[in-house]
Amino acid sequence: MTNTQPKMMRLALGPLLYYWPRDDVLAFYEAVAQSPADIVYLGEAVCSRRHEVRLNDWLDIATALRDAGKEVVLSTQVLIESGADVTVLHKITANGQFMVEANDMGAVHCLEGKVPFVAGPHLNIYNVPTLQWMAALGIKRWVMPLEMGRDDLALLLAGCPPGVQTEVFAYGRMPLAFSARCFTARHRNLPKDDCQFSCIDYPDGLLMRTRESEEFLVLNGIQTQSARVHNLLPELPAMRDMGVDVVRISPQSRQTVRIVELFQAVIQGQMGVIEASTELAALMPEKACNGYWYGQPGLEQVAATPEQV
């Protein structure tokens, strides 16, 4: 029986998308080192102006986490605009020690044919021909686009070349859009070039409401996130059965390690989905959504199917 069991899914902690004070970042990753996360993505993926933790610091954190037994991956910036951005990109892709998550095709170009890498969630791999073509460049793992649902994922899993792992963004406010403009600075009436690093005041981003006070989006510098928390914890058994290899949890300012533990408990069968979901709901900064998974608008929450409960 055991050899017909699907393999155990692994847990990844996505890159920190917010701008936290340096000490908070260091304390966070000290806690992560003790957590059940198998894989940790590190680095500044959002804004090149953020400097509380610099590349050398990220490499120190990476070393410490690797020593703690984690698989460490360095994430590249999603929007690369300036020559300086490209220079940082080169440093990351040529780091020689840690695997890299490519978050734009420039990063892919720096990595292809040289070292195995992760194709990040913003590379727009929506179909089998593209996945197979990308796989030939040397990807070890690809991350499903946020917009993709389970039906399309099943098709991609069926066409996924052997040896290439599949990762799904399974918990957190979703990074839905990127811009040249900084919306946090705009809120403060500051130009981006003199933003006064305003993001540091919003450890979970800056909530944007509709005019009838519905929590809608979250401004995180040049990134726009969903206000609702994408939560696929109830789908963990389905994902395991489909053959998903890795599920990603996106860091938030509070209780991230506990969230990782809850996912781990469900994956290992130590806790039921209902029990874990009940505790998880209290840890979310906003109500949950899962619409994308069911092919619906992303902000919707589709009720659990009978076989899940």
Partner 1 sequence: MHRLKVVHNPTTMMNTILDNSLVPPLAAPVAASMELVCPAGSLPALKAAVDNGADCVYLGFRDATNARNFAGLNFDEAAIAAGIRYAHERGRKVFVALNTYPQAAKAELWQRAIDRAAHSGVDAVILADPGMMAYAVKHQPQLRLHLSVQGSATNYEALDFYYQHFGIARAVLPRVLSLTQVEQVLEKTPVEIEVFGFGSLCVMVEGRCALSSYVTGEAPNTNGVCSPPKAVRWVETPQGRESRLNGVLIDRYATGENAGYPTLCKGRFDVGDEHNYYAIEEPTSLNTLSLLPELMRIGVRAIKIEGRQRSPAYVAQVTKVWREAIDSCRANPQLYAAKPAWMSSLDKVAEGQQHTLGAYHRPWK
Q: Which of 18-26, 85-93, 247-255, 278-286 is the region at the interface with partner 1 (rule: CB under 8 A)?
A: 85-93
Q: Which residues between 155 and 194 bind partner 1 (CB under 8 A)?
A: 155-156, 174, 176-183, 186-187, 191-193
Q: Residue count at the site for partner 1 (CB under 8 A)?
A: 71
**Among candidate residues 238, 172, 153, 127, the one with its CA nearest the CA of residue 12:** 172
Q: Which residues between 9 and 48 bind partner 1 (CB under 8 A)?
A: none
Q: Report in angstroms how near the CB of residue 159 gets to partner 1 at its nearest.
A: 8
Under rule CB under 8 A, residue 285 binds partner 1:
no
Under rule CB under 8 A, residue 211 binds partner 1:
yes
In the stretch 95-124, what mask flags binding to partner 1 with x, by CB under 8 A?
A: ---------xxxxxxx-x---------x-x
20: left (phi over 0), alpha (psi -120 to 50) or beta: beta
Under rule CB under 8 A, residue 298 binds partner 1:
yes
DSSP secondary structure letters along 88-138: HHHHHHT-SSSEEEE-SHHHHHHHTTTS-EEE-TTS---SHHHHHHHHTTT
Other residues' Cβ atoms within 10 Å of the Cβ of residue 264: 20
Work out the end-to-end distance of the chain between its first and last CA atoms, rounded to an integer number of angstroms: 24
* Identity of the residue, 32 or 217, whose beta carbon is nearer to partner 1 in the bound complex: 217
Under rule CB under 8 A, residue 241 binds partner 1:
no
CA atoms within 13 A on the CB side of 58: 26
Exactly one of 36, 38, 66, 126 binds partner 1 (CB under 8 A); which one? 126
Under rule CB under 8 A, residue 203 binds partner 1:
no
